[in-house]
Each structure stands twice: as C-alpha cells, then as structure tokens.
Structure 1
C-alpha cells in the first residue's frame, strides 16, 4: 500500500435498486486503484443480499436492516457502526440528507461526493436541450479523480450467492420450471405511471412469446407490483408464473440470471438483469436514455418513440402532461416481440411449463 492510500474506504449509496446496482463498476475501479485497501458499502437493508456474497466488499452496512438483536437498524445505529471502523475516506454517491449526514459524521478525513447533474437534467426536461448527460456510472467514477486512469468495465456486475441461487431455483421449480426451459423475464412495473408500458400490451407480448416463441414467461417485480404482475399473467393465459413480491432483490437477480432475455420498463430490474449478464429489451416512455440511466449491456435494445415532448420528467409522473401517452401507447407488442426474438436467437428448446393455474408458486 502506498503511503497516502486510504486504508479503509466507505462507499455510500442507500438506494434505489438500479442506482445501487450501478455502483458496482465504481467498486471495481476502487478495487483496481486501491488493491490493498478495505472497501465497505452502505446500502438500505433491502439490498443487503445483493452484496452478501460479493468478495469485492469487505464490510457491508445497512440502513433499516436488522441488528443482531432483531431490531431495525436506524440512522443512529448505522452512524455508531461506521464510526467504530475508523474510515480514512468516504465517497457519497447518493447526495441526499441521510447520505450527507453519514459522510460528514463517519469520521473519515477525506470525503468526496457525486455531482447530481440536476441543472443539466432540468435543461433536458424543461427546455428539451438535446445534449446527452454523462451516464450515472461515469458520474460515480468522476467523484474520485484518482480513478481517471483506471481501466475497468463500465457494465455492472453482481455476484449471486449459492444460497440465494438455490432459493430462486426452488421458487421457479415450484412453478413447474425445469432447468432446460427457455424463460423470458417480464418486468411490467416502474416507479411512475408514465414509465410503464400498458399492462394490456405486456399481456399481448406474453401471449406472443408463449404461442410463437414457445417461451415461458416469468413476471418479476417487488411487492408493490404484485397485483400488476398477476394481472398480466392472468391475461397471458398460461405458461406464465409470477415471482413479483415473492423474492428478495438477490433472489430477483438469480431469477433473471435464469432468463434468456428481460423485457422491462426503465426500472431497477433492467440494471439487475445487466448485472447478471441477461440482455434486456428496455421500453422508455416519459424518460430517455440521455438522462444517464440507459442499460449498459452489449446486446441491450432500447425501444422508444421520438417525440418532441420527451423527456417530460426526470423520473416519470403519474399522468401524461399532454394527455396522449403516445410515448408508450405508440409502441406495439409486435415490435417488442420481434426485438425480443432477436435476442433469444433462432436455436432454443421449447419451454414445457404447465398451465398457469398449476404453476404459481405459493
């Protein structure tokens, strides 16, 4: 270790799912630049099992996770934990009040933070200035100028633990999925309504995948998206199973690793899929890739409509500002199916999933 290199480095990114996944290239770069340093990561408790088996991280802290006594780990407990570690450097990749507080009070002599690019994103949304903003992966990296000359992959990379993989395999097996079945993941949810392709179109896509590609369809998402996933699966009419709301985020990653392709809105699962090497067909509506959150896989495909009103917001909204929702309504299931088929490839074994009524895991 060089004399001035930090012994212990704390990286802070509490959420959300996609943003946390996109921290992994930064971790790779830090590891490459400081191979003898100890690297710690602070995330929300719900993201712990994404990193529990990741050897790149020496110490994992969680906000809102569980302490050894079973109590919730709040901000004060987290501060107490990190201050005991004696960190030399802290990098805040979130820049919200809680992450700023943790960075300021963790005891690190050296502190750095990511630039939020709020002004540039406002210009793109409000004035439709057609300038591509730096991808969030590159903004994270720029938080530490010492990483400028480090050559590492920009793509996120997740490590799935054996236990997490086994639980995901068991969940799929309960739904009638065998190891030989060809699966397509479908993530119909997103944080805001204008980022969601309509459920009826996802259902139409699901039927095309089942009937014309002999694929099994796996509906993924969090507990808030369970109802939406059930709605789509019911409309598909068979050979569709729902794992939304039944998995941790680590198990979600393991399920997506089993899929040949993920069809998704601009949402967290999009980046999780890239992190496990599964190509995505990403449907963008209110938001655009130029805002800095495009998927980074080599084979990923983005489907969108070129409209003067896009992007209409930074993170989507609950209603279309012009009342037409053309950015999503104008994308047909047949087009998305053809893009998906191009990623599946021409050689695959037909899925042998039973009918939906018999294959829902409980």
Structure 2
C-alpha cells in the first residue's frame, strides 16, 4: 500500500497559513486540501478527474419482501442509467465525470440501450445472490470473481488517468445485505442499523430486522469469522465488487470518495480485510438510512454533507464532488499574503 506523503501534507498545511484569509476561516475546505495533498504527493493538487462506477446486482433476499420495489427494478434502472435518466447520470454529466455501469449479477434480462450516457459492462457472475436468510449469499468463487471485477474496474480508471474513484450501487434489497454486514463487522444490533431502505412501512421494517437477525444467526452458526466470511454469507455481488474496487484504488494510491449506506458497508469489508485501505477513504455524506452514521464512525470518517439523502447510485458522492473541487482550487489559486502585498495577521 502506498504511504501517505507527510512532507507534501505539511507543505500544504504551511501554504494554508500563508493564504490571504484568517487561518481556519475556510473550515473543512482547508482540511480537504491538506488531505488530498498527502495522497497525491503534491502540495497544490491539480483538478480532480473522477471516475464513477456503479455496480449492479440482484439479491435473493428480495424474496423476503424487504423492499418497497420489485426485484425487476434493478435491471430497469441499469437501462435508465445508460439512457441518462437516473440521478447519477444527470450528476455525472453536470460535473463532467466519467460513468460506467457494471452488471455483476442482474437477474432480469434487459436490452442494451441505443443511447449511451455511460459505458455498460456486462460481467454477471451469476443471476444474483441466494437468499441470505436461509443460505450463504455467494460461494467463495462467486465472491472472489465479483471482487476481481471491482478491482479491475478501479485499475481501468487509474490507467485512464482518473485521480478520484467513486463507487455506486444498484440492487433491490441491498440495504438488507449491507445492514447485515455492518452488524456483523461492528457488533451493532439490527435494531440500530436496519433502516427503511427504499421506503418500507413499519410492519415491513420489523420484518426486515428479523430477516437480518436470522441471517446473522445462520451465518455465525456456519462459522463466519473474517470479513470475507461475512461478505460471502450475507453480502452481495455488487458489495463484493465495491470492496475490491476500493482496495485496488487504495493499493494504486488513488483517493476514494464513498457514497452512502451500501458503499460504506463495502468499505468496512475492505478495511477489515486490509486496514491500510482506510487511509484512502473520504466520506461524501451521511445518509438518512438509519445505520449509516454508525458505519461511518466505525471507519473513523466524518461526512462532508448531511442532506437527508438515501438514494445511493453514487449520487451523494457526486453532489459532494464540486465542494472538494472548490477546496482544491482555493488552495491552489488563492494568493499568499506576500504575493498579494497584504499584511499578515498576528499569529
């Protein structure tokens, strides 16, 4: 794993003290500039070129009625992404970010769209996971293949000179898998982590909590101990791909901007498997999903935004992106007191 460059980070800190503003007056924007300086090895980081990869897959646990939407929506949304009608499609265009949709296990068939507002990669490992309440979600081979697809997607972005990696997801019932993973990896109770997902009602919420409890008991009885064990038992194909995506980006020394609840669950898997990955993660926002704040705390991450979002797709990360870009531009282009001929304040 590439080490954080403490020299450029320190140089960025010193530059912040010389810019024409009271020290600390730009708040977290200053911290963001310093954070990126340490990870890019440049005390004045260049503009970010971001790559968004949205990983899509279905979940067998959808059969338990844990989502307000039918499983067919996963495939329908893949088409919507490529047609340019989804929120992340709009935000990617608005912010000039590349967008790739990677099918790692969509169950329903769907046509290849005639229009293209992003690149579609059909790499299904299988037709969705098994029902995690009653059996392991994936085999070890399926999990590893999904992980490698995610890692390959990250390396493709790096090879195309992208210097910020953003992962998104699409998969009906994936908040159930994510909640189970977060409970397993943090020790939190399902009551504290399981949320409303796509907008289920109170009765369905209680049922969803029970499904997660049953899955955790089953997986523990099956011998789940490590992060990989839990990922295989109660995770998802797109979650495995995201974990591989984040790990490969960190190993290549490229910063990662996390999105919401599901992507944070994937990041937990990656960090539990390799703690050094955590040094390369940045949290875009905290979502309205009940357990997201706890998951971020387990990663020692402070979100940039809190807007009550719960969409996923990498939408929260895309909304935070211009703020990060602004932080770096201010750091890079503001004049110092000496350059501007302005008297510096007393320290």
Higher relative contact order (CA 8 A, sep 6+): 2
Indicate the structure with greater strand content.
Answer: 1
For the criterion TM > 0.5, the same-fold answer is: no
Q: TM-score under structure 1 normalisation? A: 0.30
Indicate the structure with greater helix content.
Answer: 2
Q: TM-score under structure 2 normalisation? A: 0.31
